[in-house]
Structure 1
Amino acid sequence: MRSDPASCFPSVPSGCRVYAIGDVHGRADLLDLLLTRIAEDAQANAHKALSLVFLGDFVDRGQHSKAVVDRLIAGPPSTGPLAKADWVCLRGNHEDYLVRFFTDQGSGRAWCANGGVATVESYAGPLTDEQRTDLAALQLAFIRALPRTHLRFLSRLPLWHMIGDYLFVHAGIRPGIRLEDQDPGDMLWIRDEFLFDPTPHPWVVVHGHSQRPLPEVRANRIGIDTGAYRSGVLTALVLDGSTQHFLST
């Protein structure tokens, strides 16, 4: 782990090309389109070791959360330029909502207010009026419909990933706190204390969670949640050496 603030020219290791993908939120159509564009970009860099890092919030709000999770569980395609790519999926606060609701009925109220009903419907089909208004009925429908392979996958997602001078995490970090001492809740939920702190971190933090119309590049962080579920724009940050650029739908 680095102990010094990331330099003015943060980089990934030589020979590596990294694609970080922002919050998908149930938009399987946009995920497929962005992966196609990433594959086209990777084809021109076939000699590079490729990594795809998905920054969490795969589910909720959009209508096809199940299809998104199916795609992520499948991993890189068996053929083509992404076949040998490292495929890393991180936990977001919406995955945390989903997993908690499986065993904690009371947590469902907050989840439903933040797009959880769309996720349940993507697994269980159209809901009855009772299921929409009664948390016990909604939870039962969800427990019956959610494949255990999906529950295991979503329960085991790591909170962060590091490549070179970059730390990838869903929401951000608490400034001034060592990585090993970070509160998992901050890594899933933090906003203002991270977003508006200009203090250099030991790495440049690549994150989603906080929606912006365009990618937000700062000296100490890069935010790439462009509100795909409503904007139709899903964004990937491309890192190669010390260069940075973006792909989007």
Structure 2
Amino acid sequence: MPSEPTDIVAIGDVHGKSGLLTRFLDGIDRIAEERGATPAIFLLGDLVDRGEDSRGTMDIAAKLLSERPGSQVLLGNHDEWFLRFLRDELSDAELWNWLDQGGAETLSSYGCPSDASPQTARALIKASWPHHLSILSHAPTIVLRGRFAFVHAGIDPGRPLTDQDPHDCVWIRAPFMNHVGRLSHLVLHGHTPQKRGRPTITENRLSLDTGAVFTGRLSGAWLNVDTGSITCLQASDGEAIHEIAPHRLDRGLGTALD
């Protein structure tokens, strides 16, 4: 069994911005060459919906999983919607809600005509991109490495990280975001866009969603499992990847960087 990677780059919500993800990963390759390290890439969910190229983003994810040892795609709530669509598990109300929340853009990226029935669109995607369905079907909802926990939305602070409800990992917001107090792990997550346009770090979480599909800023963090070091990074539509200082939200306990 190959050993788990020491260096990991976690990336927040991409939402179909495949070009921005490519720009970010190209920057990671340059940094990796400078550091002499090959990091695993952890995509923290919401690869699809809203942006113009969900299919391309899924293609990139497939390549990462194939070519970068130890990489992970975690399940986000929009990915779960898409997965449930492909499995024909959405009610009519859920289907129309998903389409309104970015699912229509996802189907368009797969070449589905706007007037195609759900059955036709589903059959087309499953026939031509079965590996995308496989990626989402096997995506974990939480991954633990060293002192770090990786999820899409967050965790239930009242439960051990080894006993989380997958629904919470994919959908939770206020009970996690508002929880003050150190946890067994520092939680790296997306799901909740950060209004300052840069990552936010508290005593228990590093929030990496900077609303790429709306702001043109995609954020992530390079961390080392052995040393616990964290470097926040950001790429934008008009700027190459660069280090960015996270917003330090001290709620009376310092932050995980102190």
Q: TM-score range by the shorter chain?
A: 0.7 to 0.9
Counterparts of 1:88 and 1:56 in 2: how far apart (Å)? 10
- Counterpart contact for 1:65–1:122, Cα < 8 Å: yes
Superposition TM-score, scaled by structure 2 size? 0.81
Instruction: Name stretches of at least 5 consecutive residues in structure 2 with no aligned partner.
Output: 236-258
Greater relative contact order structure (CA < 8 Å, 6+ sep)? 1
- Counterpart contact for 1:105–1:139, Cα < 8 Å: no
- Counterpart contact for 2:188–2:208, Cα < 8 Å: yes
**3-state SS of 1:225 partner:** coil
* Map 1:50-199 → 2, pairs under 5 A: 50-75=39-64, 85-102=69-86, 103-106=88-91, 107-128=94-115, 131=116, 137-146=117-126, 147-199=129-181
Q: Does 1:232 align with 2:216?
A: yes
- Counterpart contact for 2:41–2:64, Cα < 8 Å: no
Counterparts of 1:77 and 1:201 in 2: how far apart (Å)? 33
Counterparts of 1:166 and 1:209 in 2: how far apart (Å)? 17
**Cα RMSD over matched residues?**
1.8
Q: Does 1:201 align with 2:183?
A: yes
- Counterpart contact for 2:49–2:102, Cα < 8 Å: yes
Quote the offset at 1:52 in angstroms: 1.4
**3-state SS of 2:220 partner:** strand
Quote the offset at 1:161 in angstroms: 1.3
Q: Alpha carbons of 1:93 and 1:64: their partners in 2 closer, same or farther (altered >3 Å)? A: same
Counterparts of 1:122 and 1:104 in 2: how far apart (Å)? 21
Q: Does 1:30 align with 2:30?
A: no
**3-state SS of 2:35 partner:** coil
Counterparts of 1:120 and 1:160 in 2: how far apart (Å)? 27
Percent identity for Structure 1 against Structure 2:
34
Counterparts of 2:66 and 2:170 in 1: how far apart (Å)? 28
Quick check: 144-153 or 69-78, which moved more?
69-78
Counterparts of 1:25 and 1:175 in 2: how far apart (Å)? 27
Quote the offset at 1:59 in angstroms: 0.3
Quote the offset at 1:143 in angstroms: 2.7
Quick check: 99-108 or 154-163, which moved more?
99-108
Instruction: Name stretches of at least 5 consecutive residues in structure 1 with no aligned partner.
Output: 1-14, 79-83, 132-136
Paired residues, number: 222
Superposition TM-score, scaled by structure 1 size? 0.84
* 1:190-210 CA distance string (max 9 Å, x none): 111000101211100000000
Quote the offset at 1:49 in angstroms: 5.2
**3-state SS of 2:156 partner:** coil
Quote the offset at 1:17 in angstroms: 2.1
